[in-house]
Amino acid sequence: MNTIKLKDILSISGKGGLFRLIAQARNGIVVESIEDSKRHVAPATARVSSLEDIAIFTQEEEVPLADIFMMIHDKTGGKETISHKVSAAELMDYFKELVPDYDEERVYISDIKKVYQWYNQLRSHDMLEVVEKEETPVEGEQTKTSDNKNSDEGNNIASK
């Protein structure tokens, strides 16, 4: 099964758009805006979420954002998807087609808008790289984890 590679793509609370992780800095992280390629330091106090760690709540499980992006990619044939600016009803109807069992109580319209906005932004900058999905490790195996102290805890999209 395929998925979309989201490694080093970040969302920073309070800042519009998406950013690419460039390097660690003494007082935070150096990021580059995907829109205008301007670089700046996001302070260690900033709420930073890696798109790789974000998932959508469903009735049964959490579906990684990369898999949601792959569903959109497959549905659109790799083309742009619905605009995040259309009516809430249209956004929810389209999302229901992609993820029929998403948890409507925990996934808000603002989360759905972000999904479409982020997908279209990455697509417009040719950053939707389709990769082979890694297998889930067998229970008992050690897994590589990241110490993400700057996660966006206020986000209603699940962060792993």
Q: Tell me if 142 is assigned to some domain.
A: no
Structural domain harbouring 9: 2-133+155-159
Q: Tell me if 141 is assigned to some domain.
A: no
Sign of torsion, CA 36 80 1 107? positive
CATH of the domain at 92: 1.10.10.1650
Q: Tell me if 86 is assigned to some domain.
A: yes
Q: Tell me if 147 is assigned to some domain.
A: no
Domains in the chain, number: 1
Q: What is the pLDDT of residues 106-118, one digit of tens each?
A: 999 999 999 999 9
Q: Tell me if 145 is assigned to some domain.
A: no
Q: What is the pLDDT of residues 75-88, one digit of tens each?
A: 999 999 999 999 99
Percent of the chain with pLDDT strictly greater than 70: 84
SS3 labels along 102-117: ECCCCCCHHHHHHHHH
Beta carbons of 119 and 72 less than 8 angstroms apart: yes
Beta carbons of 50 and 31 less than 8 angstroms apart: no
Structure token digits, residue 90: 């249209």
